[in-house]
Amino acid sequence: MRAVITVIGKDMVGILAGVSNICVERKVNIIEVTQSIMQDMFAMIMMVDISGSDVPFATLRDDLTKFGEKNALSVHIMHEDIFNSMHRV
Amino acid sequence: MLNTQDILETIHMIQDENLDIRTITMGISLLDCADSDIDKACDKIYDKICRYAGNLVKTGEDIEAEYGIPIINKRISVTPVAMVAAACPDKNPVKFAHALDRAAKQVGVNFLGGYSALVHKGFGPGDYALIESIPQALAETERVCSSVNVGSTKAGINMDAVAKMGHIVRQCAEMTADNNCFGAAKLVIFCNAPEDNPFMAGAFHGVGEPDCVVNVGVSGPGVVRSALAKAPDANITEVADIVKRTAFKITRMGQLVAQEASHRLCVPFGIVDLSLAPTPAVGDSVAHILEEMGLESCGAHGTTACLALLNDAVKKGGVMASSHVGGLSGAFIPVSEDAGMIDAARCGALSLTKLEAMTAVCSVGLDMIAVPGDTPAEIISAILADEAAIGMVNSKTTAIRLIPAIGKQQGEEMEFGGLFGSSPIMDVNRYSPAKFISRGGRIPAPLQSLKN
């Protein structure tokens, strides 16, 4: 199953590394990353494959949320199908 | 790769604009639970609900976690209990309400609808006893909701039932007077009740439905409002287009969740109900959408036109997004559950007469409205008759959910709490309809041609 991780917040050193680390430690494969910085605001979108993940989805979500809280970032992970169904006819 | 803008839009809708799936409702047929021994029938009902809906709440929570979309309520609707109760005519049907309440608590749903009777053309066996027992059933149980259908476009309006229901609404409020008259908030009286409505308190599982089915109700008034806020100078054609596009997106999410829930529960997918269901939370109000269209306050002249546009555009946008649409589908206007409606009623901009006009174009009717505690039963019946007439003539669902605020007067407030919100007590017209209501009989079904 593929999921989308979004990270939004104030730009700082180590955001991409931090999120990537969480993914690697849990055997989550990163497929694609886009990021942009608009007036100090950092927005990163990461497409990941979690079929090989060794933790349940809920644990992965909680770990990402914790990382977000620690760094004052808004971090979400959602099933890819939500976006596909909403934005593609 | 998905478009960045699209992804951020979805996240924004959920995080900041209160987009959610309002309810996953499992409809369960109880027709095979009828038994001349009421205790046996109750056991069968309890067992069947626990067997079918045992995983409902967990499945809802799993989907919520995995897809990252809030699913606020997991609920159950059942066959109108009057049909099951007809097999044991001399017993008090309240036992069924207790069995349903126990089952609801066991499986963990917050409401279960279907303590209902369909009497639009007359009372069948079981109907009268069930209606008489509604106040006791709603006072003694916590999660059971009740509804009665008193009219339809094809059958006309059963005025005997209308007269009876005025008293029942009052009794529901009186028996729960120490609990904010909450009994009355769990009772909906319909004309043209839909058989696949997933929303409480009026949900029941119609007789034309399969044994078990999953229906989903979406929500998202906040999303529509903020989409309109981005186009302050749009003309009305463009406004309708924005609402359609937004409703499409909201409904796609409902369709996805409905299909996933249906698949995981191994239960057929019924319908998606395309409703804009408000909550008292800031930013989740249908009234604020109407105000965004350019009204100083909901209730101003022009409100009915704005609501008609909104209701129609929501349906047009949603219909293409889902394979099966049903239920109540449209914009809800429950006064106590909508922050904008509460404010409009408090400042006097929104009156009961304007709300009645709005119900001619919205999805349901006079919903969650507190009226003075001394409102006589015949006035409640007459309000119901008016609402039913609007639904009957316009071939649409209408309903009332009025709460007589026992011991309180116009200008005071009722506090229900949670999703039910709070409501100022609204005044009713005190001229008496008693003679009209006491006549009984039926209003004949209306002509379906010569529409003027």
Whether the CB-CB separation of B82 and B91 falls below 8 Å is answered with no
**CA-CA distances (angstroms) from residue B261 to B19, B49, B271, B272, B438?**
18, 17, 12, 12, 48
A and B: number of Cβ contacts within 8 A? 66
Q: Indicate if the pLDDT at residue B219 is higher than 90.
A: no
Q: Among the listed ranges A34-43, B26-35, B63-72, B88-97, which one has the minimum average pLDDT value?
A: A34-43
Do B178 and B281 lie in a common domain? no
Do B181 and B283 lie in a common domain? no
Residues B181-196 pLDDT 10s: 999 999 999 999 999 9
What mean pLDDT comes out for the span B158-164?
96
What pLDDT sits at residue B8?
83
Do B66 and B167 lie in a common domain? yes
Measure in Å the smallest separation between the Cα of B68 and chain A Cα atoms.
Answer: 5
In a domain, B224, yes or no: yes
Please tell me if residue B22 touches chain A, with a CB cutoff of 8 Å. no
Q: The tokens of B314 are what?
A: 């929501």
What pLDDT sits at residue B12?
83
In a domain, B201, yes or no: no
Measure in Å the smallest separation between the Cα of A78 and chain B Cα atoms.
Answer: 5
Give the CATH number of the domain where residue B75 resides.
Answer: 3.20.70.20
% of chain B at pLDDT higher than 70: 100
**Count of domains in chain B?**
2
In a domain, B296, yes or no: yes
What pLDDT sits at residue B449?
85
Find the CB nearest B67 among A6, A8, A82: A82
pLDDT band of B121, cuts 50, 70, 90: very high
What mean pLDDT comes out for the span B407-433?
90
Please tell me if residue A6 touches chain B, with a CB cutoff of 8 Å. yes
Give the CATH number of the domain where residue A54 resides.
Answer: 3.30.70.260
Q: Indicate if the pLDDT at residue B6 is higher than 90.
A: no
pLDDT band of B330, cuts 50, 70, 90: confident
Strand partners, B146: B115, B187
What pLDDT sits at residue B417?
79
**Count of domains in chain A?**
1
Please tell me if residue B69 touches chain A, with a CB cutoff of 8 Å. yes
Residues B246-265 pLDDT 10s: 999 999 989 999 999 999 99
Residues found in chain A: 89
In a domain, B379, yes or no: no
Q: Among B123, B157, B191, identify where a domain stops.
A: B191
**B451 or B309: which carries more pLDDT confidence?**
B309
Q: Indicate if the pLDDT at residue B448 is higher than 70.
A: yes
Strands (E), B204-316: 212-218, 269-273
Do B250 and B162 lie in a common domain? no
Q: How far apart are CA B302 and CA B169, in angstroms?
A: 32
What pLDDT sits at residue B378?
96
Q: The tokens of A10 are what?
A: 């104030």
Whether the CB-CB separation of B133 and B167 falls below 8 Å is answered with no
Measure in Å the smallest separation between the Cα of B66 and chain A Cα atoms.
Answer: 6
Measured between beta carbons, which residues in chain B are less than 8 angstroms from residue A48?
Answer: none
% of chain A at pLDDT higher than 70: 99
Q: Indicate if the pLDDT at residue B451 is higher than 80.
A: no
In a domain, B434, yes or no: yes
Do B155 and B225 lie in a common domain? no
Do B239 and B94 lie in a common domain? no
What pLDDT sits at residue B1?
58
Which among A57, A86, A87 is the top mutation candidate for probing chain B, defined by the most B β-carbons within 10 Å of its own β-carbon?
A: A86
Q: Indicate if the pLDDT at residue B343 is higher than 80.
A: yes
DSSP string covering B167-212, please? HHHHHHHHHTGGGTTGGGGGEEEEES--TT--SSSS----TTS-SE
Which domain does B59 fall in, by range? Answer: 27-191
Do B117 and B183 lie in a common domain? yes
Do B186 and B225 lie in a common domain? no
**B100 or A81: which carries more pLDDT confidence?**
B100
In a domain, B109, yes or no: yes
Which domain does A53 fall in, by range? Answer: 2-87
**B19 or B270: which carries more pLDDT confidence?**
B270
**B113 or A81: which carries more pLDDT confidence?**
B113
Does the distance separating the beta carbons of B255 and A47 come in below 8 Å? Answer: no
Q: Indicate if the pLDDT at residue B59 is higher than 80.
A: yes
Which B residues in the span 224-253 are in contact with A, Cβ-Cβ below 8 Å? Answer: 249, 252-253
Whether the CB-CB separation of B373 and B404 falls below 8 Å is answered with yes
**pLDDT averaged over chain B?**
92
Whether the CB-CB separation of B17 and B224 falls below 8 Å is answered with no
Element (H, E) at B118: strand B112-118
Element (H, E) at B48: helix B38-53
Measured between beta carbons, which residues in chain A are less than 8 angstroms from residue B6?
Answer: 83, 86-87
Q: How far apart are CA B129 and CA B140, in angstroms?
A: 17
Q: How far apart are CA B414 and CA B421, in angstroms?
A: 9
Please tell me if residue B282 touches chain A, with a CB cutoff of 8 Å. no
Do B158 and B299 lie in a common domain? no
Q: Is B360 helix (H, G, I), strand (E, B) or coil?
A: coil
% of chain B at pLDDT higher than 90: 79
Residues contacting B231, CB < 8 A, separation 6+: B238, B239, B242
Q: The tokens of B75 are what?
A: 């609920």
User: Could you tell me which chain A residue has the CA closest to the CA of B7?
Assistant: A83
Q: Indicate if the pLDDT at residue B11 is higher than 70.
A: yes
